């Protein structure tokens, strides 16, 4: 082992507005992951809510970014998607809600400042409703486990195996 090499840093970022029904799915998925799993120090799991550019400092030392969010794909509500790299800004052209413009701006500013993650993946789902409501629609609620599994698969692909919290065993 070569000394001085650091393990790549990974950020799992759930974004969305939890008072706009399905728009809050990213936050709710990340909150479940935070409760149910433990990660090595090189992994941060963050509820980014609707913070937008306020999240910029988190990207400064990140090698891998996994974003969890509701995303407008034009597909059937509940359809899960995996987008990578340059697909992310394109997917964010059609906003589900105002926070996505914040994410698009965040990624643009990060690139300008040289803090762009080496690898970016968006784990998303086509929302059914973004009306004022604190609950997910049944169609999107039914996809939460799949979204969690997709995030865990991404982490595994990066060589990261989270441990279940003791109360989850």
Q: How far apart are CA 70 and CA 162, in angstroms?
A: 24
- Rounded (10°) angle between helices 144-157 and 25-36: 60
pLDDT tens readout for residues 28-43: 999 999 999 999 999 9
For residues 59, 23, 143, 33, the Cα torsion angle rounded to the nearest 10 degrees is: 40
Is residue 17 predicted with pLDDT exceeding 80?
yes
The confidence band for 3, taking pLDDT boundaries of 50, 70 and 90, is very low
Q: How many domains does the chain have?
A: 1
Q: Which residue has the higher pLDDT, 153 or 101?
A: 153
Cβ-contact 36, 168 below 8 angstroms: yes
> Is 4 within a domain?
no
With respect to residue 95, please indicate whether it lies within any of the assigned structural domains: yes
In a domain, 144, yes or no: yes
Residue 154 phi, psi dihedral angles, 5° rounding? -65, -45
The CATH code of the domain that includes 55 is 3.40.50.1450
Domain contains 2: no
| Confidence bin at 59 (pLDDT 50/70/90) | confident
Give me the chain's average pLDDT, please.
86
67 is written with which tokens? 């974003």
Residue partners of 80: CB distance under 8 A and separation at least 6 = 123, 124, 125, 143, 146, 147, 150
Q: Please indicate, yes or no, if residue 3 is contained in any of the structural domains.
A: no
Size (the chain), residues: 169
Domain membership flag for residue 5: no
pLDDT for residue 169: 52
Instruction: Tell me the residue range of the domain where 32 lies.
Output: 10-168
Cα gap 91→148, rounded to integer Å? 20
Q: Could you tell me if residue 163 is inside a domain?
A: yes
For residues 61-79, give the mean pLDDT: 92
What tens digit of pLDDT does each residue of 96-138 get? 555 455 677 777 788 888 888 889 999 999 999 999 999 999 9
| 1 inside domain | no
Residue 73, pLDDT above cutoff 90: no
Q: Which DSSP string do the residues of 117-137 spell out, in sequence order?
A: -SEEEEEEE--S--SSBSS--
Span 88-97, mean pLDDT?
Answer: 61
């Amino acid at each position: 082992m070569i000394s001085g090499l650091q393990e790549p840093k990974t950020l799992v970022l759930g974004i969305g507005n939890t008072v706009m029904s399905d728009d809050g799915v990213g936050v709710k998925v990340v909150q479940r992951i935070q409760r149910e799993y433990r990660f090595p120090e090189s992994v941060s799991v963050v509820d980014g809510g609707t913070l937008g550019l306020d999240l910029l400092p988190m990207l400064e030392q990140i090698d891998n970014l996994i974003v969890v969010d509701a995303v407008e794909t034009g597909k059937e509500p509940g359809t899960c998607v995996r987008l990578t790299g340059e697909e992310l800004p394109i997917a964010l052209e059609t906003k589900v809600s105002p926070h996505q413009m914040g994410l698009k701006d965040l990624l643009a500013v990060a690139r300008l400042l040289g803090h762009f993650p080496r690898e970016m993946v968006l784990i998303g789902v086509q929302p059914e409703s973004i009306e004022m409501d604190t609950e997910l629609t049944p169609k999107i609620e039914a996809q939460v486990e799949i979204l969690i599994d997709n995030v865990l698969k991404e982490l595994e692909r990066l060589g990261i195996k989270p441990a279940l919290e003791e109360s989850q065993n």
